[in-house]
Structure 1
Amino acid sequence: MINRLRESSQSLTFRIAALLALALLPIGLISVATTFQLLSQADRKAETNLLALTSEAAAPEEAHIRTGIGAANMLAAMVPRLRRSNWDCAEPLGDFVRDSQAFSFAGYVSAEGTILCASEGQGTDVSDRRIYKTMAADPQTRITVSPDALVSQTSVVMVTVPVRRNGRFDGYAAVSLPHGQLFRPLDQLSEDRPLDLITYNAEAEVLTSSRGLDDVERHLPANYELSDLLYAQDGAFIDETRAGFLRVFAVVPIVPGQVFALGSWEHRRNDFIEGLSITSSMLFPVAMWLVCLAVAFFAVQRMVIRPTRNLRARMLQFMRSRRITEPRHEASTPRELREMEETWMRLAENVLHDEAELYDTIHQRTVLLKEVHHRVKNNLQLIISILNMKVRKARGAEVKDALADIRQRVMGIARVHQELYETSTAERVQAGELLRAIVGQTVRTALDDSSAVNFVEEYDDIVVYPDQAVPLSLAVTELLTNALKNLDAPGNEKPTLSIRLTRDETKGARVELCNSLNPDGPHEQEEARSSGLGMALVTAFAHQMEGFAESEATPEQYCAILRFPIADFDDTKMPGELALA
């Protein structure tokens, strides 16, 4: 049991977990609890202070609005008397407005929308104004804002009270409070933390704003509409403004159910709570972070990073020089890393052993393959020599031509064999490179002066398997030999010989070999196409490639065309030498 505990204590997981748990548990608990408590208290205190300041800042507006409501109610009660006096009220209402200094207008609007009695503007038609239409549709006491009052031509807050006669709507009494009289400077309330104040009515219409009505939208809460803030009692919350600034908001009813005040100020957490500031409370997270950093650096640096870097350096040395260096374990190296290094050393030794065997096998296979190529070349050369002897001893012209034809084909096979294994890899053959070498050598052998022929070559970049490269080369050699035999041109023109290797639209390849003809000469190639051995061989080679051969002949030109599909390469397959190993 003791030995098992000792072994577990040496593991990397146990050491880091133990050190971090020991260092962070008490500091983390104290820091989280203290910081959470301080931040919560700071928010609650800020909300409470803002509620008090909002109530204090909105007190003058509340007094003015309540005075306006009282004046409007008084004027509504006087309407029957004013009607009996034939609306002789311009002078007394004008004196009332001038003496109060709180109003810019006072008057009565009839049910038809005409100002029958007012401090000024008597007889004016207001039936097209929004406040008249609203009162006519739903008569009740309202407090609204009018940025362009019809009579006073100023921005005012209007208090309207309906007037009823025999239970029916008979117009409304209205008084206007100029915006300039509603606000007093708010800097005296909170100099270090500026306060913004907005008042609005039950229809969520902004009445006044300490920043002015033009820019009021940017200072409203982003996640609340004013219609959501029609609180019956005081309330506070924290939210971003629509301009993206975090602020503390407080809602205070000025006239319950009618007018509300929304105060806000910057969200800060630097208030002192029982002698302890938020800044000093942040020492706990800082201390926790420093301890975490020190413990993590010591644990990871000593027990993980240094041994891992040493192991990486040894791996890089092995990769570059195939040398295995013995590890130097320190006392603090965890058991898992020691086991990892031992496993890597065994792996490196196995890799070296397998590589040595693989290289030896590849070398043997390469030597064997070269020997096979050499023997094939010698055997073909021996066959050519025997045919040369038979040609020289033959007496009949027909026999000599037949033997010479066979010798030419064997020489073509030998040439293909040589070029195939000198210009390409064992698994992939560049068809254009191979054909270019074979065609060039064949033309140089057959023609004494190659400049006497217009020779055209065009090869696309096409890669094929050797199984296709061999019959392709033999077929092209046969076609080229036949073309050189019958190459001709009318008059003194230079004959033309062209060979093209191109891709077609069906993921295949197309070989076209054309030679010019003399229209007045014999057409031997047409006869060879139908009954000759050359075309029979070409057709057989085309079938080996899963393709077909065809020809196109005109009096001026003969073309042999070979079409075959290009086999797809599987990159997951192992090269031939490695597969044999």
Structure 2
Amino acid sequence: MTSEEGARNRTARAGGWFSTHGLVLRVVAFLTIALMPIGLIAIYQTAEFQREALRRSELSLLALTGQAAAPVEQTIERALGVAEALGAVIDQIDDTGACSSFLDRYNEGRRLYALIGLVSPDGIMRCSSMGRSFDMRGGGIWEQMSRRPAAIVTQGRREAVADEPLINVATPILEDGEFLGYVQIAIPQRRIAAPAAIVDTDQAPLQLATFNELGEVLTEQNPDRPLGTLLPQGFDLADKAGLRATATVGTAPDGTALVYAVTPLVTGAVYAVGVWPPIEGFGPTVLPSLFPVLMWGASLLVAYYAIHRLVIRHVRRLGRNMRRFGADRQLPPRAATADMSRELREIEGEFVQMAGNILQDEARLEDQLRERGILLKEVHHRVKNNLQLISSIMSMQMRRTRDQSTRDILSRLQDRVLGLATIHRTLYESQDVGRVDAARLMREIVGQQTSGAGGGVDLRFDLEELELLPDQAVPLSLLTSEALANALANMKPAQGETGWIAVGLRRDGDGMAAVEIANAAAGAETEADAAAPAGARSGGLGMNLIQAFSAQLGGPCEISHRDGTYRLSTRFPIRETQYDPQDY
């Protein structure tokens, strides 16, 4: 695996299961689509339920407000009924004194009202239960009387009538469509019964008040908290008159959220307003609206838990086991698979079986490679022994031969044989029989061939660590051996200097290697040598072999003789496989 692939894998694992390609995100997306119709239905039903609950709360609150204001309603309704009944009687009494006496006797028998009187169309009350007349044109009730004949309920206070707050109730007297005046009744507020007790609730209104169609407050239940201090800004009682019963949520001047319930008591005349603290279930609530979202979230959590429990954690463990096996060839531990699905158990079983087969095959290959390595080392060892045996036979033959030229020839052959023996010894001593340490090989060949020269040669090494295949190591060692023999034979140091030989091996460019062997060679090169092409300036056997070995390496051989140095070099490609495809 390349570093780029490893980085991509690490990035994918770091992204987790919530990445765009993760299983969880895709399941969540599909589950969201599947739950969308149910969610829309739930949202619609929740909205309908919330509206119905709000309507029920509103009706309940209006009923409680009407229940609390029932005594005021009953008192005013009774007064309107009395006024209407008296209007049918007193319009027949022409005598003012008799009319006043009749009203006085009626009021004295009940003692409910402060005043009962008959107001003529010109605004003068000539007949009253107090036996005197009153000019009504200076009061606010006359403004309502003068508009149109209708039932009137308003607040008033006349010191001549009573030294306390009054509620004036008036009904028109009509006969054959002709307006004859009003019957007016003044009700002391103390005569109005206390508000009715609120049943089936633990809450009481902060204020319960009544008002007429003009928005004029008639009564207030709680004098400690006037209605004006509780109404929100812009809440006009006159605008609420004439409408159906309503309940709204508003903010009082002190910033408190309150509920305002307005319900009619006497149609077109009297209304009740109740100021309530916030009541549970009234007004918009967030929780019911969140129910579909919570349901969707709970479904996703359950789905994620199920997928994680049944699939993801097992897939993760299987992935870790695969990565561990790929890294160190370690079989996964035997895990409890009771809660795994059958499909995942089959996948894990197939992986364990495949991993076991791979380990068996690798063990078999390692055994074969080990046996092959042992066999190759044994072959190289025996070849080395045979070559050394041949070298020993050559040594015996040289001791028996008196001809110096023959002995020189045998010595050169012996050096070549020992060079081959060195290669085979290096191969069977190395850990990898398929690779040869070229630097060590060249150092041993140089040491072997210069051992007979004593201390008269200065060896200079510039060897870089380089491993070669045996197919290249053999011609390299033979080339080095021939070049060294040539250098020792032609070494001519300058006067008073020690002879030297330099051996170099280095990497040269991308996939290339360079070998260089130089020696001291005092004197200028001849004109014939200078005119000859490189590699062809010597026609001896040694140079022919050097050229052949250089060709086997895959590079040309170059020779130069300048500045007192004889230099032989070649540059060849480093093979990575045992066999070159160009050979086939």
With normalisation by structure 2, the TM-score equals: 0.46
Higher relative contact order structure (alpha carbons within 8 Å, sequence separation ≥ 6): 1
Which one has a bigger Cα radius of gyration? 2
